[in-house]
Structures are given as structure tokens and as C-alpha cells.
Amino acid sequence: MCKRKCLQYLYFLFFIMYVVFAFCSPLGAQIPLTTVTLSTTANWVALPPYNTLWPLWSPALSPINSYTGLPTPIVTNLYPSTVLPVQPGLTWDPYLGHPWMLYNTPSGMVYYDPFVGINKWPASILQNSITGLPINLTLLLGYESLPATPVWWLLANVPAANWNYLTVYPSFSTSVVPSPVVPTLSSLLTPSDLLF
């Protein structure tokens, strides 16, 4: 329990530093935030079962639905067995200072955290440690309009996440027949893919 509180405190401090940097410093003011510029101002949507936020501002992860004209997530939930059509996916607990990047493996989804590397999804703070059941995040009013992930963060973390994923991928392989296709760097989204 202490480890979880310490992690939450650390993430909260990083979130505060991000807010100060992004909104108060001259350099932060020059970094554009990508937002959805349609008939909605929503940047995020909560997905079950953990209520973590999925980016509506990313065309690769939430393409425009031809019927509604609005961004629609490429997945409807984030259960460990969910298969992402493109990777990395991105999800965020707004109480933490950064999002997680999600990847497919034969044994289920994994996530990348800049502080702890690649681990099996979900993060331990999203599961009840006794029952193993999902913990639904209680989201603040207006969470849909929280700012998009900063460009500088994606530029700094997506390449590292992709390399970490490719490095540890073999350890998540199973004896599935036929053998799953091993991902390559060129099959993974880049920061610019996520943004444009």
C-alpha cells in the first residue's frame, strides 16, 4: 500500500511539473497541444474496465467515424485480452503525470511506463490487490477536456517505449502454434503517427 501511495505521489509531482512547464514557462507556451477541432472539445474518453482515458486527439488511435464525423476509439475496452489493431495504444490515469503505452503480446497486453518499463497490463494501481478485480477510476468532472499529451512527451517516450517493447517481447511469447508474428520497429507507430 505504501508503494502505491509513493508512486501516486511521484506521479502527482510530475503532473504538477508538467502543468507548470506547459502553461507557465515561455518554452512550454511554444509547444502546441494537439486537440480535436471538430464539433466537440473532447480530447479523451473513458474506457472500461478501469476507466482510464483513451485519446480522441490521435487520428491513429481514434479515427474519424464517417457517420458521426467524430473521433472513435479503435478499441471499446482495455481488458488484458484486448488486441490492439495498431500499437502502441495510449491510455492515461489523469491522476498520474503521464500516460501508459499499450502493446500486444501472445499472453495479453503489456504497458510501458517510463519509470518501470514494460509490464503486464493492467498496472497494479488499477487492480484490487486482494481480489484481482479492476479498480474503476473516479474521474473528475470535465475530464474529457483535459489537455492532450504534450508533443515533447511523445517525442521523448514513444521511441524508448517501442525499443523496450521489442526487447522484452520474446519473454512474453508462449508456445502457441503457429508461432505469432514477431513485431518489427517499422510496424509500430511513431510520435508523428500518433499526432497526425
Which residues have CB under 8 Å from 178's CB, separation 6+?
none
Mean pLDDT of 30-47: 60
Share of the chain above pLDDT 70, in %: 76
**Is the distance from CB of 113 to CB of 137 less than 8 angstroms?**
no
Q: Using one digit for the tens of pLDDT, what is the confidence trace for 174-193? A: 655 555 678 999 999 999 99
Q: What is the pLDDT of residues 11-24, one digit of tens each?
A: 554 555 554 444 44
Cα–Cα distance, 168 to 136 (Å, whole number)? 29
What's the pTM value of the predicted model, to 2 decimals? 0.77
Mean residue pLDDT across the chain: 83
pLDDT band at 26 (very low <50, low <70, confident <90, very high): very low
Among the residue ranges 45-49, 53-57, 138-142, 171-175, the one predicted with the least confidence is: 171-175
> Does the pLDDT value for residue 173 go beyond 60?
yes
